[in-house]
């Protein structure tokens, strides 16, 4: 995109090119999407523009049901979060819930500050500040600010998984059909997801691989598959 080009106009042209390419690559792709959705993964993440779940997982539209907010905070009184959980678990019947924090999170840096951010953000970050207060001694012992924010991001995921596991609709799905909960951290600096071992996913990693020939990714659409000892990329 040139410096003179309007970002929205560029985005529309890019969408047109993408849609034409996908339709040419697989003529049934969009018609099948139009019939409905049956994703196996619910992704709970941060609104940060650097953490686009479908892209970093190497998946396709229709593969991941998503809820994102500032600093991936899960509150048991947040109706938006609760409605997404209920729809994904009770109606779509996802097989996995992935709660993802990330490095370089502005929300974590804000929660570590003793200054007000202003507006509604101070209220929104209250649960994250509570996590900070509960782990004050450990966090204060970390000298580097980025490392401290990274540790808070991990603790925030841990707390979020606790909220998830105590939500009735999730409790029921875990008990009745083996729904798996995964707490993970995305490292923006290297593009990799690390399984933190929180939840009931038995510490199985969430990762992806893709075969590349030349400069083009060949084949059909990739899908992240959870089997046995971990996750792998399958072609469908």
Known binding-site residue numbers for Zn(2+)? 46, 48, 102, 105
Catalytic, 100? Answer: no
Q: How far is CA 52 from the centre of its chain?
A: 8
Q: Which of 16, 50, 177, 236 is catalytic?
A: 50
Catalytic, 46? Answer: yes
**Binding site members:** 46, 48, 102, 105
Q: Which of 63, 67, 105, 195 is catalytic?
A: 105
Do 42 and 65 touch, CB atoms closer than 8 A? yes
> Residue written as tokens 């000892």?
229
Question: Distance (Å, rounded) from C-alpha 53 to C-alpha 162?
Answer: 22
Positive or negative torsion for Cα 48, 53, 56, 60: negative
**Alpha helices, DSSP H only, in the chain?**
7-25, 29-35, 53-56, 79-86, 106-112, 120-124, 126-134, 136-140, 145-165, 168-177
Catalytic, 108? Answer: no
Q: Which of 67, 96, 100, 102 is catalytic?
A: 102
Do 131 and 157 touch, CB atoms closer than 8 A? no
Catalytic, 48? Answer: yes
Question: Distance (Å, rounded) from C-alpha 219 to C-alpha 236?
Answer: 9
Catalytic, 116? Answer: no
Q: Which residues are catalytic?
A: 46, 48, 50, 102, 105
């Amino acid at each position: 995109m040139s410096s003179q080009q309007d970002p929205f106009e560029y985005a529309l042209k890019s969408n047109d090119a993408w849609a034409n390419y996908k339709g040419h690559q697989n003529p049934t792709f969009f018609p099948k999407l139009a019939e409905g959705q049956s994703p196996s993964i619910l992704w709970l993440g941060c609104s940060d523009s650097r953490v686009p779940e479908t892209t970093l997982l190497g998946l396709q539209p229709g593969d991941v049901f998503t809820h994102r907010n500032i600093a991936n905070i899960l509150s048991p009184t947040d109706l938006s979060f609760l409605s997404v959980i209920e729809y994904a678990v009770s109606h779509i019947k996802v097989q996995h819930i992935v709660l993802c924090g990330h490095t370089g999170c502005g929300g974590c840096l804000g929660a570590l500050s003793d200054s007000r951010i202003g507006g509604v953000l101070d209220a929104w970050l209250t649960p994250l500040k509570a996590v900070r207060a509960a782990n004050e001694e450990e966090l204060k012992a970390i000298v580097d600010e980025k490392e401290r924010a990274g540790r808070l991001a991990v603790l925030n995921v841990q707390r979020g998984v606790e909220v998830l596991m105590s939500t009735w609709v999730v409790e029921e799905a875990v008990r009745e059909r083996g729904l798996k909960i995964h707490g993970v951290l995305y490292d923006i600096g290297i593009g990799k997801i690390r399984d933190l071992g929180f939840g009931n996913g038995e510490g199985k990693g969430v990762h992806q691989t893709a075969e590349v020939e030349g400069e083009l990714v060949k084949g059909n659409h990739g899908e992240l598959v959870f089997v046995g000892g971990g996750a792998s990329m399958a072609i469908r």
